[in-house]
Amino acid sequence: MTIPMDCSICYAAGRIFALSAKDSFDDTEYISRCINRGRILVGCAIIPASAYFVARWPEWSWMYFNRKRARSIPLVALALGSYFISHDLGFESGLRSIERDSKSIPLEFARSFLPLAIISALLWKRFRYQGTFEEFEEGEAVDVLRNLQFLIPFGVASFVVILAGALVVLRNMSHKVERRIE
């Protein structure tokens, strides 16, 4: 999708992965495996999907804020690399939430999506209308909610990311079951 939204999705994923490993908080080796699973998800699912959208709709992917350098390979690489940073910040934030109060996990889960909600609310028009900067400025950009060229790859990417994310969460939570058996 767009780089700002994807960064907030990576942040939310990191928090959720940390929260899903809350029962193994004291096992640093297991926590390291949990964060690495999230990094694999970011590298194998989120970045390829985002790279497709950046290549296809570069100005839209930057939400029309980076008009002249939207196709700059070093800048795009830096932006896609920031997904890992966002994930790791989210993971660290999730771990700190567990340290403070592990009983409010549903509230912490909801807080994970706060950055995405803020970006969506503030930049909805820039997300919804896809095209070049000129098309956006002139009101001729395509509505993504009615564009099958966008909805189909978006749906496939969303499905893959959600499925992979659910598998990471389940794997992170399985350590709790393994520890009870021992």
pLDDT digits (tens, 9 = 90+) for 144-176: 888 888 888 888 888 888 888 888 888 877 765
Q: How many helices (H) and strands (E) does the chain have?
A: 9, 2
Which residues constitute the domain of residue 112? 3-181
> At 181, is the pLDDT very low, low, confident or very high (cuts 50, 70, 90)?
low
Question: How far is 120 from 24, CA to CA, in rounded Å?
Answer: 33
**Number of residues in the chain:** 182
Residue 143: its H or E element: strand 142-143
- Provide the number of structural domains found in the chain: 1
76-103 pLDDT per residue, tens: 999 999 999 999 999 999 888 877 766 6
Q: Chain-wide mean pLDDT for the chain?
A: 85
The residue type at 99: E
What's the whole-model pTM score? 0.84
Contact 4, 123 (CB under 8 A): yes
